[in-house]
Amino acid sequence: MSVHTMETLSLFNSEPYRRAFGARVIAVVDQAVVLEHTLFYPTGGGQPGDTGYFSLVDGTRIAVTGTVRDPLLPSIIWHQVQECPPQLCTGALLNASLDWQRRYQHMKMHTCLHLLGALIDAPVTGCSISADKGRLDFDLPEMTLDKERITRDLNALIERACPINVLTLPAAEYPALQEKIGSKSSRPPAIQGDLRVIEVAGIDLQPCGGTHVLNTREIGRVYCEKIEKKSQHNRRVTLRFA
């Protein structure tokens, strides 16, 4: 199969709580593998790529150390593996499992950052997520933010137990949505001409390709660790799980 005709079917958006799956290998290059479909989220939008492991039919277990999109053909998702034995080859069948605890932490923090963006009335210019913390950068010239207030208000939103909904909008509606939300974040990729939008009911509406929890209460308690001045027009707010 030519690399130009390959495509990985993404399961992580439609089934974010699923932890394991079976798949066929459609390409192997060095220590990177393409599957016909995957639950492994590829690095993007500030969210790290998933890790986990493959189990081959002979019992061989192979660590997946990262997941990325192909830089030229983003429909292709590469699974970076710790080793590549001969039996891990094109056409091979395998079972794959996520490092679920790490992924779930990413889901909770990613959703929490949507709440943070709704709390602070300023354009978002950067984002980073890890298993124990996350941060947003804001285009905010003046230092008007307060750690204690952010902590209090965030936890109040979390305790409201708001559902998170995934909406699909035509990509042509993106300019109007961007004007409505005032975001300076880069435009997320359209999927088959449509735009994926995350709605925290009654709180926030943002285009986003990441994975999220179903209800804000799943996030648990968090706190604002620090607020930094990164430049004249940039304030970085870092959150941690309590």
CATH number, position 89:
2.40.30.130
Mark which of 79, 98, 117 sits at the end of a domain: 98
SS3 145: coil
CA distance 173 to 169: 7
SS3 60: coil
Give Cα 75 to chain centroid, integer Å: 16
Which tokens is 3 given? 């690399």
Q: In this predicted model, what pLDDT tens digit does every residue of 63-120 receive, in sequence order?
A: 999 999 999 999 999 999 999 999 999 999 999 999 999 999 999 999 999 999 999 9
pLDDT at residue 186, as a whole number: 47
pLDDT at residue 161, as a whole number: 97
Tell me, what CATH number does 119's domain have?
Answer: 3.30.980.10
Strands (DSSP E) contained in 101-163 are 124-129, 133-139
Mark which of 98, 130, 159 sits at the end of a domain: 98
pLDDT at residue 1, as a whole number: 54
SS3 3: helix
Instruction: Label the pairing between strands 234-241 and 9-10.
Output: unpaired
Alpha helices per DSSP H over 120-195 = 147-159, 174-181
**Are residue 224 and residue 112 in the same domain, yes or no?**
yes
**Are residue 222 and residue 184 in the same domain, yes or no?**
yes
**Are residue 116 and residue 91 in the same domain, yes or no?**
no
Closest CA to 10 of 32, 42, 33: 42
Cβ atoms of 205 and 97 within 8 Å: the answer is no
**Are residue 169 and residue 230 in the same domain, yes or no?**
yes
**Are residue 117 and residue 230 in the same domain, yes or no?**
yes
**Are residue 177 and residue 116 in the same domain, yes or no?**
yes
pTM value? 0.91
**Are residue 142 and residue 185 in the same domain, yes or no?**
yes
pLDDT at residue 170, as a whole number: 81
**Are residue 108 and residue 193 in the same domain, yes or no?**
yes
CA distance 67 to 167: 25
**Are residue 108 and residue 188 in the same domain, yes or no?**
yes
**Are residue 192 and residue 108 in the same domain, yes or no?**
yes
**Are residue 132 and residue 182 in the same domain, yes or no?**
yes
Domain containing 20 equals 3-98
Which tokens is 85 given? 């034995």
Strand ranges across the sheet with 124-129: 124-129, 133-139, 234-241, 222-231
Those residues of the chain that have pLDDT short of 70 are 1-5, 174, 177-193
pLDDT at residue 207, as a whole number: 87
**Are residue 28 and residue 70 in the same domain, yes or no?**
yes
Number of domains in the chain: 2
pLDDT at residue 184, as a whole number: 47
pLDDT at residue 188, as a whole number: 54
SS3 127: strand
